[in-house]
Amino acid sequence: MKTILVLNTGSSSVKASLYSIGSPNAKEPSKILTAHGEKINTEDSFINISILVSHIESIQRKDASKNSLHRSNSLQLTSRATHRQEDQDENESNVKKLLITEPNLSHKQAILCIINSIKEVYPNVIESVVAVGHRVVHGGDLFSDSTEVNDEILEKISSVSHLAPLHNPANIEGIKVARDIFHDNVKNVAVFDTAFHSTMPPYAYNYPLPKEYRDEGIRKYGFHGTSVKYVSQEASKILNSMNRNSKKMIIAHLGSGASVTAVVDGRSVDTTMGFSPLSGIMMGTRSGDVDPSIIPYAMKKWDKSEQDVMNDFNKKSGLMGVSDGYNDMRCVTERAAKGDSNALLAIEMFTYILSKHIAGLLISCCGEIDALVFTAGIGEHSACIRRLTIRRLSVLLGGMKVDDDKNEANGTKSNGIISCEDEENINRCVALVVPTDEEKMICEESEKFLK
């Protein structure tokens, strides 16, 4: 059996997943391991690893013919580290859990720690890796698709890191570590969040600014592309299985970060996030679109620096700012149910701004769509937000109404459909909930380079 390792190296986190591929009885990759390293580069850094034992043991039974990894890459845990194993019972999917606490783990140390911890428990597993897929937040206008990494590609990714200074350097570190560990034994593949949006037309991605700005690469790039690509493909499968049209859809990726994308024939034609992930709709702590003249006004009014104001926009706004301290939609919804006026306002603003942007994106789809798709944390789990949003858009979406039972079940009992179905007009726009899986998408993108 062969596996693909997926790495998502964030500004303060490291996430890894291992997928088995090429199994005769499996039509798609199967996740067999996950690892989440949090609070990287702090005293409280830790890693949680979950292993699906039955799959791992099937790999161990295979003849591991690859060379073992270089011992020089091993990480010796200090006396302050804790390494705990916990076997869950058979009713919990036969999962083995590892908890590793090690102060001040760097990104490189966290990745090495994950790999070496797996090797300690299942020595042959890492030798089954044939590719490493990396999430890279920003590819600028240099990358319109996933690409195999070499020295030249790495330099190009570095050249656009100023467009995502909090994310790209960490992504690059993950790539370098993986290349050091596996050398030329496996392929490293970069999968860009921005790549899916490279199909936007110039009139959609350009800003009405002087030419010198365009020449400097100041334009709309869009984000959440890997998620949107995956969800659009899954939504198309659902719609096609029901003999419904799937040509045009609008996908609302609603998490702590949030954006909405118009997709036509499987291609992004416009999206709400722009030059940076700050723009677009209201988010957990980010403001979304606001009048840029607020920046110099706030600097003068409160004697703040430009960085202070940008920090307010990025970390103290959105749900956090309007609800007066809560960036989690679950908390905001609970407080709104108790009559909290700030929470009620936050929900009204969130759904109004979201609906307004969806309505605007209808223009990108020639005025009509086949499906409105909700995904990510809020999109997949907040029946309230979906209901209020669809209610605002009902007239524009052909009289769409929410099926309360289906919506409350998050579409899990109705093949994702949460709107009332019209048997007389099967091609009327429908609303769906489709869970996203960016890691699986990265795995599938990486697998292409093995063929």
Active site residue 193: yes
* 387 annotated to bind ligand: no
Full-model pTM = 0.86
DSSP string, 382-436: -HHHHHHHHHHHTTTTTS--B-HHHHHTTTTTTTTB-BPP-TT-TTS-EEEE---
CB of 193 within 8 A of CB of 137?
yes
CB of 382 within 8 A of CB of 333?
yes
Q: What is the pLDDT of residues 423-435, one digit of tens each?
A: 655 568 999 999 9
* 140 annotated to bind ligand: no
* 36 annotated to bind ligand: no
Q: Catalytic: which of 89, 141, 184, 193?
A: 193
What is the model's pLDDT at position 441? 95
What is the model's pLDDT at position 59? 56
* 257 annotated to bind ligand: yes
* 135 annotated to bind ligand: yes
* 68 annotated to bind ligand: no
Q: What is the pLDDT of residues 139-184, one digit of tens each?
A: 998 999 999 999 999 999 999 888 888 788 889 999 999 998 888 8
Q: How many CA atoms lie within 13 A of 199 on its CB side?
A: 14
Structural domains of the chain ordered from first start: 2-192 (3.30.420.40), 243-438 (3.30.420.40)
Query: Residue ranges of the chain with pLDDT lower than 50?
Result: 63-91
Sequence letter at residue 356: K
What is the model's pLDDT at position 24? 59
* 330 annotated to bind ligand: yes
